[in-house]
Chains A and B, each alone.
Chain A
């Protein structure tokens, strides 16, 4: 009995020892593949059903839309469609001329029937897709011939063009299946540069190069999505070469930048964080008060402390690096004196000497709320609370679990001010956020009304010409910046780390390989993913 008992700890130690010897003697291998770290597992490898970013990233490689954004996010280039024509009018028509000879990953040919099938599936009420909203203004779609597809809209709707970037599904594979539960969602076939190989839940998703891709076979042999639920763990895996690429958090930047075998990229994001004021609340109905609040909040300081400098202070409701952001509108500067002056004009003074401003006997006191679990918003809240305190405004700050926060406070419009963020698409049409018709059931939960802006939002989504749209959105930007219904805080800068071994490769007619460094595009680092390559003969630094 005794020997048996004592042999267990010994066995344990021996096993640990063997392992340590094995582990410390391993060399790092070199493979022509890309391993991407993803925080969450994918849900549906089906572009119609997917809502999360992990699924969308992978779907973007396996499927193609009819068109896609160009590298500046300022217009479109053909994808499955070679070209397209817009016939304007009260019921505009878009005709897509599709590429010939495109094959699905199973070898069957692609045609306009597949496009129509995808559209029909989206519009089917039984399909669990949120994308249906994008096509509500479509009147009808027709297959003119196998390579021509025509869409007619009920009214002019320029954001509609971009929605045809959605991945097209293979009709022959899905015709007889229930799209919500079919096995296709876990082993998809598309037309894209990479084809699906394997999905191990919560561990990895493997794709390989599609040799028959219509723009040529991708240079990488494989792409692997690894699911690692925490960014600090991705960092560990990056150090052991178990991961080639991941999104870096601002506090990790310094460390990552010092590692010789990594290259760090950064790029403004399509999202921004703001403080929204409930305009139904009498406290915030005076424009001067809202401007004063923005003047009193030191946004540069917030970006410095909360994002380690990785954010741009913005002046209006658009991402600062895109064509519809009005560069002539400057963010209101940090100016507590001006803030005080504006508040005094609006009737707020500290008459009873308790350090808190008041008007008609009522103190300037409000509750600022945000969702829990978001450290950045929490830190912003604490800083804002302190900064407004200095001005004599008493802010209480509370956080709530996301769904409670939405249901009981935001959707019920039962709040004073909230810290939130928007992640936008490259199209500027934010009608659902700002138009006064969206107060009741849409996303204008701060109840913002501005008749001129309303009219411009309507006009903007009817206008197809980019230059004319730019004018409209620049004006909207001015109007909203003047009204300050939000205090626009910042638009974060995304950072990503990539192992240096990757290059862009091109082959000249003689077959010689020409290497160029990978560059960040407005449309993202992976815009030219099919040219990424790990050259043989590169020696990796340990």
Chain B
């Protein structure tokens, strides 16, 4: 087991270095410079050159890569856009993004699994078909479009703000009302983000349940006279949820990068918006750092999923 762990971690580390080098090349070789973003006729090209030099952009690409690494680990990495430490910029937004994605994930799991089980108990019934239809609808509706419609509808219906972390003019609100206001601002984007996930995961649970129900041990459980509830929710569901461990691998990086579009639509100050703006502005230090963090999280997610399989499924053992 320790040998396995060690080997796996070493693999992770090498993959990570590979990813970071590759991303560095792709990002810095894309056309465009972080300095000359606009055409300002009052700015002479000489000065642009000097400014690029101040950012080491005139150095060979491998040197720039090592400089980036060095600055990242010595805490001297500053954003090109506003001269602030990159980690500070990420740090102040990360909780907003985590909160949004966590709530969305909670909604997904708490609604999708009951839905899936429900559908699987009466397959091809009217309600199951309705569920299938709903799921396809949920998968095919573009999230941003739905979000705009929902924003428009709520503003017209209630005349209450929906954008951002909280309402802006909150004079005269009592503390519990302020909490409610925060929840309101969180629920809309999280719910819309969750629709896609609910549609997918409920289908996943349903087919997985149907698979398990056909197994011999379910028949055995039924024939030894266990109540149907116990058969379904204890014996079948536990086994049906095994494949969902795979989703875990995606869940962790998704907590950071899963909300780029919704953050823009709902003016939510998170990592996704930061990354998007940084790409447009060719803010290499910020883009690279966010990419590296997501890479680390993806790798960790996969790693945890591997380990969980070992724990949850007795058929899998690591040598």
Q: How far is the CA of A24 from the CA of B180 in the complex (A)?
A: 12
Q: Are A227 and B267 in contact (CB under 8 A)?
A: yes
B110 touches A9 (CB 8 A): yes
Query: Are B269 and A200 in touch, CB under 8 angstroms?
Result: yes
**CB-CB under 8 A for A6 and B169, given A128-B51, A407-B32:** no
The distance from the CB of A406 to the nearest CB of chain B, in whole angstroms, is 7
Known contacts A31-B169, A230-B265; is A180 also within 8 Å of B78 by CB?
yes
Interchain Cβ contacts under 8 Å between A and B, 13 examples = A8-B110, A24-B157, A27-B172, A35-B168, A43-B82, A51-B40, A133-B44, A181-B78, A181-B84, A229-B267, A233-B265, A237-B163, A242-B167
Q: Contact between A19 and B183 (Cβ–Cβ < 8 Å)?
A: yes
The smallest beta-carbon distance between B5 and chain A, in angstroms, is 33
Q: Are A43's CB and B81's CB within 8 A?
A: yes
State whether B111 touches A8 (Cβ < 8 A).
yes
Counting chain B residues whose Cβ lies within 8 A of the other chain, the interface size class is: 35 or more
- Given contacts A236-B152, A403-B32, A403-B33, A442 and B161 within 8 Å (CB-CB): no
| B 252-275 contacts with A by CB, 8 A | 264-265, 267, 269-270, 273-274
Give 10 new A-B contacts, CB below 8 A, not counting A28-B169, A237-B168, A443-B39.
A8-B110, A130-B51, A136-B44, A203-B164, A230-B265, A230-B267, A240-B159, A243-B168, A404-B31, A406-B36
Question: Cα distance A422–B41 when bound, in Å?
Answer: 8
- A-to-B contact residues, CB < 8 Å: 1-2, 5-6, 8-9, 11-12, 15-16, 18-20, 22-24, 26-29, 31, 35, 40-44, 49, 51, 125-126, 128-130, 132-134, 136, 180-182, 185-186, 200-204, 224, 226-230, 232-233, 236-237, 239-243, 401-404, 406-408, 420, 422, 424-425, 430, 432-433, 441-443, 542
B136 at interface, CB cutoff 8 A: no
B167 neighbours in A (Cβ, 8 Å): 242
> Taking the nearest CB of chain A, how far is it from the CB of B62, in angstroms?
22
Q: How far is the CA of A130 from the CA of B237 in the complex (A)?
A: 63
Q: Are B187 and A15 in contact (CB under 8 A)?
A: yes
Q: Are A29 and B169 in contact (CB under 8 A)?
A: yes
Contact with A along B221-239 (1 / 0, CB 8 A): 0000000010001100100
Interface residues of B in 15-67 (CB under 8 A from A): 30-33, 35-48, 50-51, 54-55
Q: Bound complex: CA of A230 vs CA of B168, how far in Å? A: 17
B184: interface (CB < 8 Å): yes
Contacts of A136 on B, CB cut-off 8 Å? 44
Chain A residues with Cβ below 8 Å from B282 are 403
Contacts of A228 in B (CB 8 A): 163-164, 267
Residue from A130, A236, A422 within 8 A of B48 (CB atoms):
A130
A9 touches B111 (CB 8 A): yes
B152 and chain A: residue at smallest CB distance:
A236
Contact yes or no, A181 B83, CB < 8 A: yes
Contact of B93 among A11, A26, A201, A232 (CB under 8 A): A201
CB distance from A170 to the nearest CB of B (A): 18
Kindly state the separation between the CA atoms of A202 and B40 in the bound complex, as whole angstroms.
25
| Selected contact of A23 from candidates B46, B78, B184, CB within 8 Å | B184
Partner-A contacts on B (CB < 8 A): 30-33, 35-48, 50-51, 54-55, 78, 81-85, 89, 92-93, 107, 110-111, 113-114, 117, 148, 151-152, 155, 157-165, 167-169, 171-172, 177, 180-181, 183-184, 187, 191, 229, 233-234, 237, 264-265, 267, 269-270, 273-274, 277, 282
Interfacial chain B residues near A185, Cβ < 8 Å:
82-84
Is the Cβ of A19 less than 8 Å from the Cβ of B187? Answer: yes
Q: A5-B117, A8-B110, A9-B111 are in contact. Are A226 and B40 (CB under 8 A)?
A: no
| A31-B50 Cα distance, complex, nearest whole Å | 47
Q: Which one of A51, A232, A236 lies within 8 Å of B38 (CB-CB)?
A: A51
Report A-chain residues with C-beta under 8 Å of the C-beta of B32.
401-404, 406-407
Docked-complex contact B229 and A12, CB < 8 angstroms: no
Q: Known contacts A126-B54, A227-B267, A407-B31: does B162 contact A19 (CB below 8 Å)?
A: no
Asked if residues A236 and B155 are in contact (CB atoms below 8 Å), the reply is yes
Q: Name B39's closest neighbour in chain A (CB-CB).
A: A443
Q: Decide: A29 near B111, CB < 8 A? Known: A236-B163, A407-B32.
A: no
Contact call A132/B47, Cβ cutoff below 8 A: yes
Q: Chain B contacts of A2 at CB under 8 A?
A: 229, 233
Check A128–B171 contact: CB distance below 8 A. Answer: no
Assembled-state Cα–Cα distance A200/B107 (Å) = 28
Chain A contacts for B151, CB-based, 8 A: 233, 236
A22 adjacent to B177 (CB under 8 Å)? yes
CB pair A9 B114 closer than 8 Å: yes
Contact check, A433 vs B47: say whether CB atoms are below 8 A apart: no
Query: Which chain B residue shows the least CB distance to A241?
Result: B169
Give Cα A404–Cα B270 distance, bound, in whole angstroms. 28
The reply to whether B180 and A430 form a contact with Cβ atoms under 8 Å apart is no
Nearest B residue to A373 via CB reads B280
